Structure 1
Amino acid sequence: MKGSQPAEAQPKARQKRDPSIADSLTPLIAMVLLIASSLLIFGLDALDGPIQVALVASCLVAAAVALKNGHPWGEVQAAGQSAMASITSAVFILLSVGALIGTWNLSGTIPTLVSYGLHVLRPEWFYPATALICGIIAMSIGSSWTTVGTIGVGLVGIGSMLGVSPGIAAGAVVSGAYLGDKLSPLSETTILTAQLVKADVMRHIKAQAWTSIPAFGIAVVLFLVIGLFTSGSAQPPAPTSIELEKLDQVFLITPWNLLPLVLLVVLSVRKVSASISLFLAAVFAGISGAILQPRVFSGFVGADHLTPLGAIRATWLAMSSGFSAHTGIADIDRLLSRGGMDSMLLTLWLIIGAVTFGALLDELGLIRRLTDPLLARAKSRGGLYVAVFGSAFGLNIVAGDQYIALVLPARTYRAEFAKRGLAPTNLSRLCADSGTVTSPLVPWNSCGAFMSSALGVSTLLYLPFAFFNILSPLLSLLYGFTGFKIERTSETDLVTESDGAPDPSETSPEDDHH
């Protein structure tokens, strides 16, 4: 045809090149420099936007490296789309938690928890009690996110009333929540980790107990020592009796206010998805609160008396933009004036940037270029354990999502563990200790961002006091070097496809720990 180009003149598709070590390191170095700069310039306020900007800029650097290596822009877009798909459940859980905090404050659920807690808890043993309470609740329902977003919020509020450190209180909440998440047979991450290495779930939980229980025991002792030595310096913002009297004046304090919490526990135990459970508990709090707290509801919407339409309006506002208290005591107002779906938008921005960055590194081959040399250099058992830990914790930092930090190391090192005669429960325990429990220690990780947003305490403030989350991976590494509680491969260690274990590559559970 006239004007057509000969075939040899047509533009050729660019050939893809495998990334070099420099290619893989460039986005990571850019991220470290950008995040460090934002922290240096803005301090803890960096989480209010500057770190999010740093993560988006890091995504652009990773995309530029991929384009340089011949990947078409369509592949870069597809990686970003897969990142968005991977956090769909987390988005709805975050929004549901925001709605729940708003309606639980409005309906008197959180004020009742705070009132009862002030009657029972004392500064000298507040920290260990907080860790134990959260551990029991999380083990019962199998969800660290639900535990933190409900009981954890109330306990941190009680701590502020007692004058204890919010950072240490949040560290105790996170420690207890992740103990329960790891050891509960209801936890999706526990089930997924066992499936990834083809191990029996109960054997995986039994193996985890050898690091989790000692780590939690040490954490409780540390919390008790801190409480005993700092209880004398605890300065409540206002006398407890005045706070209790004010709560009684504003809210009807009654066990009936705890019905939304009971509903949430029942739904969680019955394995209703986390987002649905949280949302239903938020709506139910609006219904029960309208009956039990009509004066609070009418005051919230500026009405003289409560009507059915006013109750709906109050619940809707609390779910969307949170509850606002005006008791006259600043600390109570600060505690109860929280929640709403819009309070989670900054956290969602953070998670979107972090997970997109991780997806670009993963799907464009940049992460594997760094993990393969680690495996090649892991000659001893201790070296292999360090490689797994470095991969999982590093992925929590650079990928911003604990699922990536669980799945990639489990798949990468599973064959090597089998080759060395190490039972799969060794790898499942190590992945859980390295991937699951360290995720809330990273501010831009989806777990760290959620904990900070729900508790109202910066990740960097509670990080030094999340003792369980720090001790668990250290004990796993110690076991790897010493050989203590290291199981060898046997016939019963493996769960075959015929036994009914689903293929991990086909498993896509809702993140119930979220």
Structure 2
Amino acid sequence: MAGTAPEGNAHGGEPNDAAGRSDGGAGGSDGDSGRGSRRRRPVKPPSLTDALLPIVLLAVLIAGSLLVFGLGALNGPIQVALMACALVAALIAVKNGHPWARVQTAGQGALSSLSSAIFILLTVGALIGTWNLSGTIPTMVYYGIQLLSPSWYYAACALICGIIALSIGSSWTTAATIGVGMIGIAGMLGVSPAITAGAVISGAYLGDKLSPLSETSVLSAQMVKVDIYRHIRAQAWTSIPAFLIAFVVLLVIGLNSGTAAHPPLPETVELHSLSSIFWITPLNLLPLVLLIVLSILRVPAVVSLASPALFAGVLGAFLQPSVMADFVSGNGENPVVGSIKGVWLAMAGGFQIDTPYAEINGLLSRGGMSSMLLTIWLIIGAVTFGALLEEFGLIARLIDPLIRAAKSRGALYVTVFGFAFGLNVVAGDQYIALVLPARVFRLEFARRGLAPTNLSRLVADSGTVTSALVPWNSCGAYMSAVLGVSTLLYLPFAIFNYASPLLSILYGITGFKIEKSTPADEPVAAE
């Protein structure tokens, strides 16, 4: 693996091509032709200050953006911070003797690695838009909410949020819609809002991790070059047991707190009004069935997501004609033309609905390719920053001593977890906590004969779910803001969010469900 490029340079080697040309220049041929002044400067290894400067600057800028803009920092300021830090990393590389052309090549390589992820994310946005328009998501929410029972309220919250997050692929939207409703109902029942918030977050992150519609799942798989469904199958071995642990603990807490003594939930829960807006029928779930079938058949992710998106739009034209007409303001318009416009608009800009019920509006007014642009911007910044740190040895300068010290597989797993969680604490963003560990450790996992799915699962367990446990992390701040419960109050009850990484580390130590690499996995190491 030492001869591979470019990643091999990040682990202690000078760039072979650059060194060769530099040596050639030193031989005197350029000087004899009168162009000796144009010889490339020798490349220096990064110093500890070089390695620390971009990381410290990123922590300062992200903390400053969260302080100044609050949750609005995700709408651009954090992306600007990432771009600024990427520029600083590039200038450090130039200072150390790397030509600017090589910096550009490293950045271009980072962007080219994202092409598949970007198309998948855009397709996910389109699918969410048409599934809202067609009544697919409203039907799943309507049936899911029927599972509520005061006798096991906390466990029910986790289960319902898990089902909905799995169907829509977003922990944030689940928490901000169903989660907010659960907190409100908790107040009516007299049960603990803090425990309810922990249950909501546990369920929301379960669905987020196992959904092919989740951008973090897509990113985790793409960063180590594995198929999204292969990643999800590996992820299930930690996510499902972790959720079962959370479910049982929440059920015991609920039964012991006497929730069964409370009266039944009121019949007027706002989400039940979905049936007055959409025609709720099992037929609306056919796009979900198609997605499951295509996933089982291992159809490429873009195709398996685009097909149910288009199918849902066509189905919605027949099953939800009034919703379609209201969406396109198509009074008197040809129904066929109006339906085409509706599906087109839902795929491009998402579905919008205005009802007297704020929670319904918040749940369904979303989706579209445009809704993914901020996330794509954030990912581009994080991946470019991570690629520059890796390519020019800045991260290796900090991490290589830790990797060398991690002699056993269990120690390596603990190191990856510490790095990912530390980035959640220092950098305050889950995307950075996903991207950097995946890029930094993928060669080491390949060198030790560990399949890339092991790393994709570990970084998701370590980077995604723990982000909601850090109060100043964008995820922790968001969850606290929308649920109205302090991060430190719900933290003990977000059981899934620490059971999942603990199980992942335990698997690494014991060897349970650890996949060995195959020849098909080799391109990950030699990319």
What TM-score range do you get, normalising by the shorter chain?
Answer: 0.7 to 0.9
For the 8 Å contact 1:93–1:275, the answer to whether it is kept is yes
| TM-score normalized with structure 1 length | 0.73
State the match for 2:9 in structure 1. Answer: none
| Aligned-pair CA distance for 1:353 | 1.0
State the match for 1:173 in structure 2. Answer: 204
Structure 1 window deviating more from structure 2 (280-289 vs 330-339): it is 330-339
For the 8 Å contact 1:59–1:357, the answer to whether it is kept is yes
| Aligned-pair CA distance for 1:28 | 0.4
Distance 1:486 1:449, change over 3 A: same
CA distance in 1 between counterparts of 2:258 and 2:76 reads 34
| Aligned-pair CA distance for 1:326 | 2.3
**Aligned mate of 2:283, from 231, 238, 256:** 256
State the match for 2:522 in structure 1. Answer: 503
State the match for 1:409 in structure 2. Answer: 441
CA distance in 2 between counterparts of 1:38 and 1:152 reads 20
For the 8 Å contact 2:177–2:362, the answer to whether it is kept is no
RMSD: 4.7
CA distance in 1 between counterparts of 2:277 and 2:292 reads 27
Distance 1:441 1:82, change over 3 A: farther
After superposition, residues 70-149 of structure 1 pair within 5 angstroms as 70-122=97-149, 125=152, 128-129=155-156, 147-149=167-169
State the match for 1:355 in structure 2. Answer: 383
Aligned with 2:85: secondary structure? Answer: helix
| Aligned-pair CA distance for 1:287 | 0.3
State the match for 1:434 in structure 2. Answer: 458
Segments of structure 2 that go 5 or more residues without pairing to the other structure are 1-30, 186-195
Matched, 1:373 2:392: no
Distance 1:227 1:257, change over 3 A: farther
**Aligned mate of 1:322, from 342, 347, 350:** 350
**Aligned mate of 2:69, from 42, 45, 52:** 42
**Aligned mate of 2:364, from 308, 311, 336:** 336
CA distance in 2 between counterparts of 1:348 and 1:221 reads 37
In structure 2, give the amino acid aligned to 1:334: G
| Aligned-pair CA distance for 1:193 | 7.8
Q: Percent identity?
A: 47
In structure 2, give the amino acid aligned to 1:149: G
For the 8 Å contact 2:130–2:347, the answer to whether it is kept is yes
CA distance in 1 between counterparts of 2:174 and 2:404 reads 48
| TM-score normalized with structure 2 length | 0.72
Deviations 1:383-402 (A, max 9, x none): 55533433455578697374
Segments of structure 1 that go 5 or more residues without pairing to the other structure are 138-144, 196-200, 418-423, 509-514
CA distance in 2 between counterparts of 1:10 and 1:193 reads 42
Count of equivalent residues: 462
CA distance in 2 between counterparts of 1:83 and 1:504 reads 16
**Aligned mate of 2:92, from 53, 65, 69:** 65
State the match for 1:294 in structure 2. Answer: 321
Structure 1 window deviating more from structure 2 (392-401 vs 169-178): it is 392-401
Distance 1:386 1:108, change over 3 A: closer
Distance 1:282 1:61, change over 3 A: same
In structure 2, give the amino acid aligned to 1:54: A
State the match for 1:33 in structure 2. Answer: 60
In structure 1, give the amino acid aligned to 2:437: A
| Aligned-pair CA distance for 1:413 | 5.8
For the 8 Å contact 1:94–1:450, the answer to whether it is kept is no
CA distance in 2 between counterparts of 1:336 and 1:494 reads 42
Deviations 1:6-54 (A, max 9, x none): 5265422122111112111110011011111111222222212221121
CA distance in 2 between counterparts of 1:479 and 1:293 reads 47
| Aligned-pair CA distance for 1:264 | 1.1
Deviations 1:476-504 (A, max 9, x none): 55677xx7x358x9xxx96665xxx5424
For the 8 Å contact 2:149–2:156, the answer to whether it is kept is no
Structure 1 window deviating more from structure 2 (405-414 vs 328-337): it is 405-414
State the match for 2:39 in structure 1. Answer: 12
